[in-house]
Amino acid sequence: MDRPLMAHSSLVNPAGARRLTGPAGAPLRCARATPWTVALRLCTWIALALLLPHRLHAQLTVEVELSQQQFLPGEPMPVAVRIVNLSGQTLHLGQDNDWLQFSIEGENNRVVRQLGQPSVREPFTLESSRRATVRLDLAPYFELTRPGRYELRATVHIPAWDREFSSPPAQFYIITGARLWEREFGLPTTDPGTPPVMRKYILQEANYLKRNLRLYLRITDPAETQTYKVVPLGPIVSFANPQPQLDSASNLHLLFQNGRVTCAYYVLNPEGDILVRQTWLIAGSRPRLSADADGRIIVVGGQRRYSPDDIPP
């Protein structure tokens, strides 16, 4: 740890003290300061003052990285905070829930309201010259509903030093997607005497970084005042519409083209959990959704292509 710079004071010869002498017993005289030497000393002190914060900051570096730069309101926002220890000491981090803090500002320095504190209490040690990475989802903890540009900062507090170290800002955007389809549905219940709890499925596409379209599923209340979940479903081509259907359990079956000859097939439950994920090829005929003799929704046509990402495997 860098020691603070100490101000140096000149020595004064008190009365009765032995005088300092030079050659041949001549009194030792100090050279008179010239304007040039005064200016040189002043520049030296300014340089030291500017260097001190940099040296202190170099004890610990903090960086925050986002998985992408554009998000829909309510979409998961995975972040990675990288902490590099250059202090020469072993640090004990994660002792409480306040050692790692986050702040988000919108345009015109508008502070985004924080809805809660992420759970980051998990003690660990970080040796000198080593790096640690903390990963978490920030979406549930900030009110990010207004489209626009935002900046995210992470701050690490070191209680032993009584110091804080902040990351450079990471920029991202909240965007609105084009609505492709929506459908209200009732949650399954075992009590037929109670009115159903209603929800809404909404399919939206967003132009990610102006390079490709991506498809999302939002699950909200009927008035869309509350978003329960946003599920990214991946890329979608612009020239083919998705095929959504609901089964008797209010599960959403969704088939959409995501490549030149490939289609993605999903089944999601009312909580937004992915029950089925498959890849189908446009081979011989185009895949489509249909009901079998028992009323179950299945994919007919095309050709199934098995992938390590399939759910279930």
- Where does a domain end: 126, 153, 174? 174
Residues with Cβ within 8 Å of 63's Cβ and at least 6 positions away in sequence, in order, are 81, 82, 167, 168
Q: Indicate whether 91 and 103 sit together in one domain.
A: yes
Rounded to whole angstroms, the Cα distance separating 12 from 70 reads: 66
| Domain presence at residue 92 | yes
Query: Which residues form the domain of 201?
Result: 178-305
pTM for the model stands at 0.71
Strand partners, 182: 202
Residue type, 210: K
Q: Indicate whether 182 and 164 sit together in one domain.
A: no
Residues with Cβ within 8 Å of 164's Cβ and at least 6 positions away in sequence, in order, are 155, 156, 157, 158
Grade residue 18 by pLDDT with cuts at 50, 70 and 90: very low
Does the pLDDT value for residue 91 go beyond 70? Answer: yes
Does the pLDDT value for residue 1 go beyond 50? Answer: no
Q: How many CB atoms lie within 10 A of CB 212?
A: 14
Residue range 176-215, pLDDT digits in tens: 889 999 999 999 888 888 899 999 999 999 986 566 899 9
Residue range 293-310, pLDDT digits in tens: 888 999 999 999 999 999
pLDDT of residue 176: 86
Domain total of the chain: 2
Residue range 218-266, pLDDT digits in tens: 999 999 999 999 999 999 999 999 999 999 999 999 999 999 999 999 9
- Where does a domain end: 140, 174, 208? 174
* Residue 12 burial (C-beta neighbours within 10 Å; 0-12, 13-18, 19+): exposed
Range with lowest mean pLDDT among 34-38, 65-69, 276-280: 34-38
Q: Indicate whether 83 and 184 sit together in one domain.
A: no
Grade residue 28 by pLDDT with cuts at 50, 70 and 90: very low
Residues with Cβ within 8 Å of 217's Cβ and at least 6 positions away in sequence, in order, are 201, 202, 203, 204, 230, 231, 233, 252, 254, 268, 272
- Where does a domain end: 119, 142, 174? 174
Rounded to whole angstroms, the Cα distance separating 164 from 99 reads: 9
Q: Indicate whether 152 and 66 sit together in one domain.
A: yes
Cα angle for residues 273, 274, 275 (degrees, 5° grid): 110
Q: Indicate whether 120 and 190 sit together in one domain.
A: no
